[in-house]
Structure 1
C-alpha cells in the first residue's frame, strides 16, 4: 500500500524515544501486517466534534491513547495558566465504564498535576452529569470526563468542560486547539505531583443526588410514587452509581433494575450497542417490564447523559418513545409545574436544537416563554444560560435522547431526567391518565408532530470522504422538490444563509457555522442533513406534522404522517 509522506512523517515521529517501547512495537507490527490500519491510525489528528473528542483506542495520532490525551491535557494546562494567571487552578476529572478509562483518567490527572494544577479525581466511575455538577460545586476552572458515550466498545473519548459547567464552545475551543496543535509530544509533562491529586466520592455524590431531587422533583404524593412500577437498566454503564440512588432519595421504592445489565462492563455484553436510541438496547428491560406489568421503562447510555423511555400505549403494550417525544413531554410537564407555581413571568426560556422537533416552539408560545434553538449538542443550550443571565432556564432537550432540567448540570443529564419522567408518569397515573395519554393530549393541543431519523454509517478515510461529498453534492445540486412538494426555504449553516426558493431572497443567519442543511417544504415538512460530530455517520432528520382533532383519531393521523415520512425518505433515496 502506498502511504502518503505526511502520514509516514507522523509514524516516524512516534518511533522516536519520546514514545514508549510498547507503542513502537505496535507500530512496527502494523507496518508489516496491517498497513491499512497504520494509515487509519495516523492519517489525521483526532478532532473535537459535537461532544468533545472521540475515537478508537490504539496507537497513532487518530487514536485515543496516553499521548494524544496527554498532548491535549498539556495544551489545556498551558491555556489554563494563560487564562487564569497567578491563580491556583483546579480541575475535576471523571470517567466511565469503558476499557482503559480509569488508567487514561489517571494519565490526564498526572499531566495536570505535573503542571501545578490541583486535581479532583473521582475514585471510581461516575456519570457525566455529575462531572458537570462537581465542576461548579468544587469551584473548579475546568473539568474532564473520559467517555465515548454510546459509541461501540473499541471507542473512548475526552470531553472538556469550563467553569460554568458547560462544554467548550467557540471561540474558546479553537483557541485551545491552536495551543494543542502548537505542541510537540516531547513537551508533555507526564510525571505527576501526587500531592496535588485528591480523590473524591461520597461527599460530592450526596450533593449531586440532593440537587437532582431538588431540580426534578415536584411534590408528587407518596401514594402515587408507590403505585408507579419502574424498570430501569444502566446498560452496563455509570448510571448504576446515581439513578437508583436518586429515585430512592425521591421516594420511589417500586424500582426494578435489570440484573444482567447492572454490572458496569466496557464490553457491553448483552447489547449490540449501548445506545438507548436503538430499540434493541432495551429488549431485556422491556421483557422484565412485561413480566412485572410495569408502567415505565428507562434505560441510559454508558455515561448516563441520554435516556430511552418506554411506556404503555392505550392497548397496554409497551412502546418506545423517541427523543423528540420524551423532550416535549418533559418540557410540557416542567412548564405546567412552573405555571402552577406562578413562576412564569416572561423571563424564562426553554432550549432545543435545529434538528429537533419544531413542537418545542409551540410549547414556548403557549406558556409565554422563549424557545432558544441552537446547533446540535448541549454545549449550545448551556451557552444560552451563560449568554442570557437575565433569563431563567426551565429545561430543554434534543432529539438524540438528551434532556437537561434547570442549570445545576449544564449538559445532558439522564439522572435528573429519569426522575422527571417518573414524576410525570406517577402524577399522570394517579390522575387516571398515562404518559402516552398525556402525549396524545399534547398533540391535540399543539399539533401532531412526528419525527424520524436515518443514520448512514460510513467508516474510515473513504467513509469520511463519501460523507463530505454527499454534502457537497447537495450544495452544488440544490434540492427543489421533496416527495412532490416544493422546497420553500433552504438553511445552509455552513454559509450562514437562509434562501427563499420562491423569491430568491437570501438572508444571513447569526447562529454559529456548522455543516448542516435544512429544507422546508410548502406543506410544513422539515428535512435536515448533517454529518455526525461524534460518529462516522451522516444523519437525515425528517419532521412532519398536521392537526389532531381528538385523541381517538390519533392512530389514523399517525398512519398518515408515517406515510408522508416514507415518501420523503424514498424521494431522497435514503431508504
Structure 2
C-alpha cells in the first residue's frame, strides 16, 4: 500500500509535466521508478515555508526541497508582493550568497527573476557574509534583500533568507503575506526566469571597505587595541564567507597578530574538515583549538558558513582552552559594552539591549545593574531586528544577542553579525588583558556579582514528515500533561507562547504574554530555573533549553558549584526530554 496521500501525489504529478525542465522530470521519474516512496513523501508532502530563518531545506527535486523552481517561485512571490507594497517606485533589492554548494548559482537565479520583474538588483560579485547583505539593503536604500545560505546546517541544505527594507529578515505580517503570494502562483509559467542584464548592478570588493570602516567607528576602546595590538588571535571561517572580511576587519581594527586556520580557510560547500559547520559544536572548533595551543592564542574565534554566528574559546583557570557557550559570550559582550559606556560617560536614559526568551537572564541582570532597559523577543534574531526598527529614533540600541551564538553591537545592520562580533570580542579581550584579566576570569567575576548561571541545550533531530509529526506530538503531549515538578523542583509558572498565556500554578492566575504567537513552552520553577521547549524553525529538530542559577560566593568555589548545577540540569532534562 502506498504511503503517498492524494495531495502529495498531485504535487508529484505536476512535477512530471513539461513545465519543468527535462533533468528535473527525469530525477522525479527515477525516484518513482526506484520506488523511493519515503524520499518522494519527504520531497513533496508540503511546500517549503518561511520559518525563523526564512526558506531552508535539503537540496534536490520537489516542492519541499531547495531547487530552481522553489527558489524561483519564492522570488516571484516576493517580487509580486514588493510591487503591491511599492506600486509607484523603482524597486531595489540586494542579493548575496555564501559558500554552500549551489549558493552562487541560486544567487544568480534570484537576481535573474528579480531583474525579469523590472526590479533593480544589487548583486554581490562574490560570496559575502549575511550581515553584509543586511548592511547593503540599508546602504543602497533597497526595498528588500535575499541571502542564499543555510547558515550552520549540514552540507545537504541550502536556504533563502528574505529581508525587508529595514535590513531585517521578514517578520509578520510580511512573512505570511509573501507566503500567500508564493502560494498564489499556480504555474511555473508565471515565474519570470529570463535575466535582464541592465537591471543588475554588481557589488565589488570595494564595498568591503565601506562596511569595515562603518564598523571601525563603533570601537569603544581603540586605546586598548593599540596597547594590545599583538594580541594572539586564532580565527577560522570553517570553509565559509568569513574569510572574505573577518581578517580585514581585525586588521583595520588594529590587530596585527591574527593566525588564520589554513585548513579551513578556503570556501568549500562540502565542509571537508568538520561534521557540521557549526561553531556551537566542539568538533567544529577542534582544529582551531589545536592551532590556538600551537601559537598560545589569547582568543580563538570561528564563524559559520555565512558568518552570522561566532564561536569562542578562551583559557580557563587550568590554562586549558574552553569553549564559551552563546549565553556566556552574550553576557560578556553586554557587560563589556555597558560598563565601557558607563566609564566613558556615554550611557543615556533611552539606551536598551535585547535578548530572546531562551537566552540567559544573566544578560537582563547585567542590564538592570546599569539601569539600562532590556527587551525580550521570540527566538530568532529577526525579532531583535524588529525591535531595533520599532525603537529607531526614540531609543538607542547598544547590544543584543541570542544563545545560539548570534550577536550584534551597534545598529549598522538588523541581523546577527559575527564579523562585527569578532572585532568586539577581540577588543574586549584586549581591554581586559590590559587590566591583567582573561575573559574567563571576567566571566567568573560576573558569576560572583550576579549569580552563577548554567545553561544546557538538548536538540533532538526528527527528519522528514514522520519527524515533523513526531515533534508536533511531543509538543502536544507537553501541553496536555504539563509537568508540575522538574528535577525534584516544583514548577511555579508555565508560559505558553502559542496561547500567549502565563499561568501561575499557585494562584492559577493567568496573565497575557505580549509577543507574537510561537510554538514555545516555558516552565519556571520556584528556584527560578527556566526550562523551554520549542521546535526549531530552521532544522528538523525539537530543542530543549535549561537555565539554572545559584550564588557563587567566591571564584574558588567555581568547580564545585558548576558540578552541582550540572547535576541539577541533568535531573531536569531527564524529566522533560522524552525521545
Question: TM-score interval w.r.t. the shorter chain?
Answer: over 0.9
**Quick check: 1:348–1:392 contact (8 Å CA) kept in 2?**
yes
Q: 1:222 to 1:175 in 2, by over 3 A?
A: closer
Output the CA distance in 2 between the equivalents of 1:222 and 1:150: 30
> What's 1:511 paired with?
515
Of 166, 173, 180, which residue of structure 1 is paired with 2:168? 166
Report deviation, 1:361. Answer: 1.2
> What's 1:156 paired with?
158
> What's 1:287 paired with?
290
Report deviation, 1:343. Answer: 2.0
Structure 1: which 5+ runs fail to align?
none
**Quick check: 1:216–1:417 contact (8 Å CA) kept in 2?**
no
Output the CA distance in 1 between the equivalents of 2:148 and 2:66: 10
**Quick check: 1:480–1:486 contact (8 Å CA) kept in 2?**
yes
Of 349, 353, 359, which residue of structure 2 is paired with 1:350? 353
Residue 256 of structure 1: SS of its match in structure 2? strand
Output the CA distance in 2 between the equivalents of 1:204 and 1:538: 39
Moved more, 216-225 or 412-421: 216-225
Q: In the TM superposition, what whole-angstrom CA distance separates every residue of 1:304-325 from its partner, at most 9, and x where no partner exists?
A: 0000000001221100000000
Residue 88 of structure 2: SS of its match in structure 1? coil
Count of residue pairs brought into register by the alignment: 575
Instruction: Give the CA RMSD over aligned residues.
Output: 1.1
Report deviation, 1:216. Answer: 4.2
Q: In the TM superposition, what whole-angstrom CA distance separates every residue of 1:26-71 from its partner, at most 9, and x where no partner exists?
A: 0100101122211111110001111111000111100001111111
Residue 290 of structure 1: SS of its match in structure 2? helix
Output the CA distance in 2 between the equivalents of 1:81 and 1:218: 45
> What's 2:19 paired with?
18
State yes or no: 1:275 paired with 2:271: no
Output the CA distance in 2 between the equivalents of 1:498 and 1:224: 50
Report deviation, 1:574. Answer: 4.8
Report deviation, 1:573. Answer: 4.5
Output the CA distance in 2 between the equivalents of 1:407 and 1:223: 24
Q: In the TM superposition, what whole-angstrom CA distance separates every residue of 1:180-218 from its partner, at most 9, and x where no partner exists?
A: 111122200111111111111223211111122222453
**Quick check: 2:221–2:431 contact (8 Å CA) kept in 1?**
no
Report deviation, 1:220. Answer: 3.4
Output the CA distance in 2 between the equivalents of 1:13 and 1:282: 44
> What's 2:63 paired with?
61
> What's 1:262 paired with?
265
Q: 1:60 to 1:526 in 2, by over 3 A?
A: same
Q: In the TM superposition, what whole-angstrom CA distance separates every residue of 1:452-499 from its partner, at most 9, and x where no partner exists?
A: 000011111111111100000000111111111111000000000000
> What's 2:564 paired with?
560
Residue 212 of structure 2: SS of its match in structure 1? helix
> What's 1:111 paired with?
113
**Quick check: 1:485–1:523 contact (8 Å CA) kept in 2?**
yes
Report deviation, 1:100. Answer: 0.7
Q: In the TM superposition, what whole-angstrom CA distance separates every residue of 1:278-321 from its partner, at most 9, and x where no partner exists?
A: 11000000011111111110000000000000000122110000
Output the CA distance in 1 between the equivalents of 2:316 and 2:482: 41
Report deviation, 1:14. Answer: 1.2
> What's 1:436 paired with?
440
> What's 2:402 paired with?
398
Residue 226 of structure 1: SS of its match in structure 2? coil
Output the CA distance in 1 between the equivalents of 2:387 and 2:117: 32
TM-score (norm 2): 0.98
